[in-house]
């Protein structure tokens, strides 16, 4: 049996692997092999018929799938108590591996092991928190080339970003995909906190007409770039500024900021007026998608009551149609979303 592989651009590797897996021809027994500075070889059991690729090659002496991270660290002489302090999970975003190292010893060794496991990547970053009004990420290079700019592909959407300058939450993947599914063709959408286009781009790709507002200049630059990258610049209007100052009429409003309802656990305080702006924009019968970070003991009373109170103050009726837990925000705090119909 011949060991075949398809040659693709590094930037497209993640999306092509997903496509090959859907086609049923991706070979899990072999590793991704670097071909040159810009391309990789993805192992396949047969030539794909639907997945785009440059060409098919036959590999000699293929690289079999390597042991997992723990096994690699043991082979480097790590003790069990040290391995327990190594990252237990990580995300591969384009050519960057993103992980939280916390009190992990010998981070560089872990980083090199992660690069061996993920040949499509060339940089490993230690992810800290985010800071300030613009949600500036705090990252440091652990291993590799140190290039923090990359293109990450998810469910067909391509996100250009610099992980040293803009925030990207891997744990929000399902919610990003879902927003692309719920958006209707020709629907008017206001994304109040667009970032690099996390929700705006999938919704525009689904046929919606999206007004995406972002006040962080770095994020805005990538938002505009991602509109071009995904061929939706004609249906995605990028606005640099404060979403409370944007005049829009929308069938659907996305409030993707944790403290959009005010008084949240991230920055406790008064209502910042974002809900009032959303209610000014959403038409009768329209939908709000309200994100919140909520202490576990206050689920779901806190976000629901704040939303109901704000709608009542604006003279709008509201019906909660769905409540979703996206992920853990921090210890004892959940990231949740409310889907609400407003009349």
Q: Which of 139, 127, 125 is nearest to 94 (CA)?
A: 125
Q: Is 341 annotated as a binding residue?
A: no
Are 237 and 176 in contact by the 8 Å Cβ rule? The answer is no
Question: Are 312 and 194 members of one domain?
Answer: yes
Show the tokens assigned to 267: 């920055």
Question: Are 54 and 85 members of one domain?
Answer: no
Question: Are 317 and 204 members of one domain?
Answer: yes
**Between the CA of residue 110 and those of 138, 143, 185, what are the distances in Å?**
19, 8, 46
| Final residue of a structural domain among 119, 147, 175 | 147
d(CA 190, CA 249): 8
Query: CATH number for the domain including 121?
Result: 3.30.300.110
Question: Are 312 and 213 members of one domain?
Answer: yes
Question: Are 41 and 143 members of one domain?
Answer: no
> Is 64 inside any structural domain?
no
Are 71 and 112 in contact by the 8 Å Cβ rule? The answer is no
Beta strands in the chain (DSSP E): 4-9, 33-34, 39-44, 55-58, 91-93, 96-99, 123-131, 136-144, 149-154, 157-162, 188-191, 209-214, 236-240, 250-255, 282-295, 318-330, 333-342
Question: Are 188 and 89 members of one domain?
Answer: no
> Is 54 inside any structural domain?
yes
Are 320 and 339 in contact by the 8 Å Cβ rule? The answer is yes
Question: Are 205 and 101 members of one domain?
Answer: no
Q: Is 312 annotated as a binding residue?
A: no
Question: Are 77 and 50 members of one domain?
Answer: no
What is the structure's pLDDT at 272? 80
Burial class of residue 146 (count of CB atoms within 10 Å of its CB; 0-12, 13-18, 19+): middle
> Is 108 inside any structural domain?
yes
Q: Is 316 annotated as a binding residue?
A: no
Q: Give, to the nearest 10 degrees, the angle between helix 274-281 and helix 301-313.
A: 60
Query: CATH number for the domain including 220?
Result: 3.40.50.150
Total count of domains within the chain: 3
Question: Are 246 and 132 members of one domain?
Answer: no
Buried b (16+ CB within 10 A) or exposed e, 66-80: eeebeebbeeeebee
Question: Are 231 and 256 members of one domain?
Answer: yes
Full domain range(s) for residue 201: 167-342
User: Which residues lie closer than 8 Å to 197 by C-beta, 6 or more apart?
Assistant: 159, 212, 222, 223, 226, 227, 236
Give the residues across from 210 on adjacent strands.
189, 236
> Is 154 inside any structural domain?
no
What is the structure's pLDDT at 61? 82
> Is 130 inside any structural domain?
yes
Average pLDDT, 10 consecutive residues per value, the chain (343 residues) = 88 85 86 87 92 92 79 93 92 95 96 93 92 80 97 94 94 90 95 97 98 97 98 98 96 92 61 91 98 91 93 96 88 91 98
65 DSSP assignment: P
State phi, psi for 323 to the nearest 5 degrees: -130, 125
Question: Are 177 and 317 members of one domain?
Answer: yes
For the chain, the farthest-separated pair of C-alpha atoms sits apart, in whole angstroms, at 70
| Final residue of a structural domain among 12, 31, 58 | 58
Question: Are 249 and 320 members of one domain?
Answer: yes
> Is 157 inside any structural domain?
no
> Is 37 inside any structural domain?
yes
What is the structure's pLDDT at 270? 64
């Amino acid at each position: 049996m011949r060991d075949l592989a398809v040659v693709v651009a590094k930037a497209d590797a993640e999306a092509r692997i997903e496509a090959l897996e859907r086609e049923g021809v991706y070979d899990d027994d072999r590793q991704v092999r670097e071909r040159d500075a810009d391309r990789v070889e993805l192992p396949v059991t047969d030539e794909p018929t639907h997945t785009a690729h440059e060409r098919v090659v036959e590999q000699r002496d293929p690289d079999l799938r390597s042991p997992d991270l723990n096994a690699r660290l043991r082979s480097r002489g790590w003790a069990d108590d040290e391995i327990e302090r190594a990252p237990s999970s990580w995300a591969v975003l384009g050519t960057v591996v993103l992980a939280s190292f916390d009190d992990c010893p010998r981070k560089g060794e872990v980083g090199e092991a992660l690069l061996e496991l993920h040949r499509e990547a060339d940089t490993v970053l230690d992810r800290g928190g985010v800071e300030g009004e613009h949600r500036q990420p705090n990252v440091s290079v652990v291993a590799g080339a140190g290039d923090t700019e990359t293109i990450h592909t998810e469910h067909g959407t391509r996100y250009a970003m610099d992980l040293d300058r803009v925030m990207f939450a891997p744990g929000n993947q399902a919610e990003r995909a879902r927003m692309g599914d719920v958006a209707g063709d020709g629907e008017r959408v206001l994304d109040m906190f667009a970032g690099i286009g996390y929700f705006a781009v999938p919704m525009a790709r689904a046929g919606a007409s999206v007004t995406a507002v972002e006040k962080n200049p770095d994020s805005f630059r990538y938002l505009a770039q991602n509109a071009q990258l995904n061929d939706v610049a004609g249906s995605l209007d990028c606005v640099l500024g404060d979403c409370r100052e944007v005049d829009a009429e929308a069938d659907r409003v996305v409030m993707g900021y944790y403290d959009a309802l005010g008084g949240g656990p991230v920055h406790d305080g008064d209502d910042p007026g974002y809900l009032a702006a959303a209610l000014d924009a959403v038409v009768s019968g329209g939908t709000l998608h309200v994100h919140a970070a909520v202490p576990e003991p206050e689920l779901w009373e806190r976000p629901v009551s704040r939303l109901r109170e704000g709608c009542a103050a604006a003279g709008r009726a509201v019906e909660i149609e769905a409540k979703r837990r996206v992920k853990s925000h921090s210890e004892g705090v959940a990231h949740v979303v409310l889907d609400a119909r407003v009349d």
